Chains A and B, each alone.
Chain A
Amino acid sequence: MANVRHGTVKEPFIHITKNAAMPFWKGLLIRASAVIAAFILCSLLAYFLIGANPGEFLKTFFEGNFGSNAASAKLRIWKLAKDTAILLCIALAITPAFRMRFWNIGAEGQVLISALASVAVVYYNAGRLEDGPLLVLMFIASIAAGMIWAVIPAIFKALWNANETLFTLMMNYVATFFVAYCLVKWTPNGSSVLGELKTGHLPSFGHDYLVLILVVLVTTAFMFVYLYYSKHGYEISVVGESQRTACYIGINVKKVIIRTMALSGALCGLTGFLLVAALDHSVTTTSVGGRGFTAIIVSWLAKFNPLIMIGTALLLVFLNHGAGQLATVFRVSFAFPDVVTGIVIFFVIGCEFFIRYKVHFRRKTRTAQVADNGSGGGGGALDSPGDNEKPDIVPDKGGKLK
């Protein structure tokens, strides 16, 4: 009614409707142009803030990821693959929960606490066990720790509908300070610097990072099959779409929530185990370093599809390494990569709108308006200007009723 004044019809300037399925290539094109637009903005920022011209910007960005000569190239590319693998692994872990619309933003804490569990096994073992059984114990401890950290919020969500976003967020900090507590306990002078553990290293072949990367690839394939081709995966999708539908077709929603979060936590546990056994051989309060949050963006950008996640994880690590190199070369703050990553994410988040919705601007001619309303769907009843007499009557009626 607000649109109708003095007998003339005022169409809203912008009218938004939902888009039907968009061809895959078109969606990809929109996303790619968003990334390119973000890059242009970042290079402009780099030009004005740190004085790097666009050529240097791109060159430094690529050198940060792929090195400037053969020797550094090998090193950098392995590092790129390693960081992508870890980020991907965390993203895989939170994906089943996210597909269920369970907003688990506690991956940070779940990974950290499982890394701590692995370190605890090594610490209390004190060199008694061989590496073989020790690794098995570490693995079990990590998985268990991750599961416990994830299942606690899940139980309260399933039974009493406690807000999972806030619950898992709080669990992150409990984990962080618990790690701080253990580190002070375990270091003789209370220095909190544990140093590299001597035992409990995963055997490596080919390259130090190869085992890690292979494990993550296998996990990716497993998660893809689990989510898209298994009964569990189907149940997760149904619960995510509509809990009522899930109830109606006989899915035990509570069970699915707890089971899925247990899986989510177990995968976080796997990441924590890999961090300790394959990479860091130690733990600090910043071992995960915000990757638990970045992984959420990785997973969401990939529309919760494990295979696409390889690409999105790579994109974010690529940004981080490139901007990191830029910060090193041009001697600016170490925080520069976060700014660049943030800008690119904003663009990619924003562009999703143009994939999901269609924007109609106000047409000039009267006939076009009518035609638009017919085809636009949705808002027909509310601002239907098709009938000339109706709008004239409606405001009067409203006026009298008041």
Chain B
Amino acid sequence: MKIIEFLLSALAIGVTFLYGSTGEIITEKAGHLNLGIPGIMGIGAACGCAALNAMLPESSDMTPFLPPWLIVVIALLATLIGAGLMGLLYSFLAVTLRANQNVTGLAMTIFGTGLTKYIFAGLETKGVKYIWALPYFRFPFNNTTSALQYCGVLVFLGIAVAIISSVILSRTRVGLHLRAVGESPATADAAGINVTRYKYIATIIGSAIAGLGGLFYVMDYQGSQEAYLSVEAMGWLSVALVIFSLWRPYISIFGSFVFGALFILGSYLPSFGLMVDVATANLIKTLPYVVTIIVLIITSVRNRRENQPPASLGVSYFREDR
């Protein structure tokens, strides 16, 4: 049974990375390396939890004013809006004002994680009511005590979002245009594609999806008051997963599971009969990053065109540049 529990929690923690990396892939396909993802995921979680806090009654015994499904939907909307606004801010700076993407992204992370901690600290002073909504998020398995409880509705939503993004990116005209914008904005522009609009929409949608990852991590996988402190690390892992999945959301579904398994491996090894001390558990935690580095090296050594990052990733587009 332990192995099933391990696999299920690997799947669940993986969904955090899946949201983050799907969002980041969509953004990167438009040619924008958004290093603000860790901050955006935090903001997403903060907005969702703030909305939950506002909706839930004073005590955990009272039935809430709204039906559970509506509470979840409103929390999701709050997350989408909060994270989407962060995406809008990034787009304004990096697309319209053509600021350096790395610097803008890092500033977003500094600002976003700061604001996240600020908001959550504010929620703490008013009582952390959002934790009570945990069973709603773990629907339909909310009553089980096994690891199945982690597999709430957001897990399925995450996988669905990744599949839909994959189809849109590779099978539709919109996806083709988006990829064109990321590969060569000047060519796309000449072909009559509105580069600025594509960049804005891709970044905002990508950020909103990544924000869901933050909410999922705090409200579903962890379900604790301290969870918000570790959202940033989840964000960086999501950025790593983008490389691992070679900019394809459907590989990301598998990749997120691998990352999730590697991420929790250290704490599960003892229950498989393999004794590892705390020190080695820390070494095992480097595995997702090491694996990403190896994938990065292999793809660049093999140098196959379909496995490369979008060609104009990280470069601002100015029409009148020569």
Contact = CB atoms under 8 A, between A and B. Distances in A.
Given A190-B277, A334-B117, A379-B320, 10 more contacts: A156-B297, A166-B240, A166-B243, A166-B296, A169-B239, A170-B290, A174-B293, A290-B110, A337-B114, A350-B92
B262 to A, nearest CB: 12
A338 B292 CA distance: 29
Given A343-B111, A350-B97, A185 B279 contact: yes
B57 interface: no
26 contacts: A1-B192, A18-B318, A156-B296, A160-B303, A161-B300, A162-B301, A165-B314, A166-B243, A177-B283, A177-B286, A181-B280, A182-B279, A184-B277, A300-B103, A333-B121, A333-B122, A335-B116, A335-B121, A337-B114, A339-B118, A341-B110, A341-B111, A342-B112, A349-B103, A356-B98, A379-B319
Contacts of A300: 100, 103
B251 interface: no
A44 interface: no
Contact of B309 (A163, A174, A181, A184): A163
Interface string A350-380: 1011001100000000000000000001110
Nearest to B115: A339
A352 B99 contact: yes
Given A333-B121, A345-B111, A162 B102 contact: no
Nearest to A335: B117
B296 A170 contact: yes
A181 B106 contact: no
A376 B115 CA distance: 42
A173 interface: yes
Contacts, number: 169
Interface in A173-187: 173-174, 177-178, 180-182, 184-185
A296 B290 contact: no
A257 B239 CA distance: 25
A343 to B, nearest CB: 7
Interface residues of B, number: 57
A252 interface: no
A171 interface: yes
B278 interface: yes
A174, A290, A294 — which one has the most chain B CB atoms within 10 A of its CB? A174
Contacts of B285: 177, 180
Given A190-B279, A300-B100, A338 B107 contact: no
Which of B93, B103, B239, B314 lies at the interface centre, i.e. has the most chain A CB atoms within 10 A of its CB?
B103
Interface residues of A, number: 56
B33 interface: yes
A141 B282 CA distance: 23
Given A165-B33, A170-B292, A180-B282, A342 B103 contact: no
B296 A167 contact: yes
Given A103-B314, A170-B289, A341-B111, A353 B97 contact: yes
A59 B164 CA distance: 53
Contacts of B301: 160, 162
A169 B289 CA distance: 9
A332 B102 contact: no
A297 B286 CA distance: 27
A184 B239 CA distance: 28
A2 interface: yes
B118 A333 contact: yes
A204 interface: no
A72 interface: no
Contacts of A294: 110
Nearest to A351: B97
A156 B300 contact: yes
B297 A353 contact: no
Contacts of A16: 318, 320
Interface in A300-343: 300, 332-339, 341-343
B245 interface: no
A297 B105 CA distance: 10
A296 B280 CA distance: 32
Interface string A179-213: 01110110000100000000000000000000000
A377 B320 CA distance: 9
Interface string B225-254: 000000001001001100100000000000
A327 B190 CA distance: 51
Contacts of B110: 290, 293-294, 297, 338, 341-342, 345
